[in-house]
């Protein structure tokens, strides 16, 4: 029989589910640094990261015992997805109360001509200041909305490219952009930033 550290993830999972708790300890040691580093980078608070890290491994244990992991050689990806979902849930729960979620409105801001900015030389200085203000507001957006805005306007990616990069559908990417624009307008009002120039 192989020593535990030499076994594959799937062998360790199988051994753990047969009652060998040391097999799970080996998995934990194998991935704890990667998972914790990802969570800490995402939430930027060590105490919160510790809590989410513990929650992550409790979910892994629960899901393993519920048969929700199938042996496909992608255990690392599976646990990172669980960690990612916990981080997303954390950010959703801790958003500013006046931000809307991606599911709260049918209003299509993408087709609202009132937010279009008409460029002219007289407004150049105002536009520069507005750009700096908008950058500050973007930092306050929920992580998934901020990501889409940065990819679209700063990296100039298409919505198809954004969807492929983030692993979501094009409709989801479009929805995140729509709600990012709604939230930017709300934040602009809150912080008295003029978006119209």
* CATH number for position 125: 1.10.10.10
More confident residue, 128 or 107: 128
What six digits make up the tokens of 97? Answer: 């109360």
Nearest-10 crossing angle of helices 75-93, 9-17: 80
Q: Are residues 11 and 70 in the same domain?
A: yes
Question: 43 in a domain, yes or no?
Answer: yes
pLDDT at 12: 93
Nearest to 183 by CA among 153, 139, 151, 150: 139
Residues 16, 82 share a domain = yes
Report if residue 29 sits inside a domain: yes
State how far the Cα of 14 lies from the Cα of 16, in Å rounded to an integer. 5
Give the C-alpha separation, 140 to 109, whole Å: 19
Question: How many domains, in total, are found in the chain?
Answer: 2
Same domain, 133 and 87: no
Which of the pair, 131 or 184, is modelled with greater confidence?
184
Residue 99 lies in a domain: no
Per the domain annotation, does 124 fall within a domain?
A: yes
Provide the pLDDT for residue 1: 52
Q: Do 153 and 116 share a structural domain?
A: yes
Q: Both 75 and 134 in a single domain?
A: no
Q: Is the pTM of this model over 0.85?
A: no
Let me know if residue 11 belongs to a domain. yes
pLDDT at 31 over 90: yes
The residue among 93, 121, 150 that closes a domain is: 93
148 and 84 co-located in one domain = no
Last residue of a domain, one of 25, 58, 93: 93
Q: Is residue 195 part of a domain?
A: no
**What string of DSSP letters covers 145-157?**
HHHHHIIIIIS--
Tell me how crowded residue 14 is: count the other CB atoms within 10 A of its CB: 14
Q: pLDDT digit string (tens) for 61-104?
A: 888 888 888 777 789 888 988 998 888 888 888 864 445 555 54
Per-residue pLDDT reduced to its tens digit, 110-161: 444 444 444 344 445 555 666 677 788 888 889 998 888 887 877 677 888 8
Q: Which helix (H) or strand (E) holds 54?
A: helix 46-65
For residue 180, which of 100, 98, 84, 87 has the smallest C-alpha distance? 100
Q: Are 183 and 141 in contact (CB under 8 A)?
A: yes
Q: Name the residue range of residue 24's domain.
A: 4-93
- In 64-94, which positions are buried (b, 16+ CB within 10 angstroms) versus exposed (e)? beeeebeeeeebeebbbebbbebbeebeeee
Residues 113 and 81 in one domain: no
Helix (H) or strand (E) holding 26: helix 21-43
In a domain, 103, yes or no: no
Considering the domain architecture, whether residues 84 and 126 belong to the same structural domain is answered as no
Domain presence at residue 46? yes
């Amino acid at each position: 029989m192989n020593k535990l550290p030499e076994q594959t993830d799937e062998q360790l999972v199988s051994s753990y589910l047969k009652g060998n708790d040391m097999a799970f300890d080996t998995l934990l040691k194998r991935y704890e640094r990667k998972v914790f580093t990802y969570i800490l980078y995402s939430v930027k608070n060590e105490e919160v990261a510790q809590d989410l890290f513990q929650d992550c491994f409790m979910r892994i244990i629960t899901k393993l015992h519920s048969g929700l992991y199938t042996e496909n050689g992608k255990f690392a990806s599976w646990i990172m997805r669980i960690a990612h979902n916990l981080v997303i849930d954390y950010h959703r729960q801790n958003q500013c109360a006046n931000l809307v979620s991606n599911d709260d409105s049918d209003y299509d801001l993408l087709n609202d001509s009132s937010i279009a900015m008409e460029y002219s030389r007289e407004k150049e200085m105002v536009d520069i200041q507005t750009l700096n203000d908008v950058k500050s507001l973007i930092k306050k957006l929920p992580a998934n909305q901020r990501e889409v805005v940065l990819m679209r306007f700063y990296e100039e990616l298409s919505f198809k490219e954004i969807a492929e990069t983030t692993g979501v559908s094009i409709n989801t990417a479009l929805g995140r952009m729509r709600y990012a624009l709604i939230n930017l307008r709300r934040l602009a009002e809150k912080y008295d930033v003029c978006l119209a120039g």
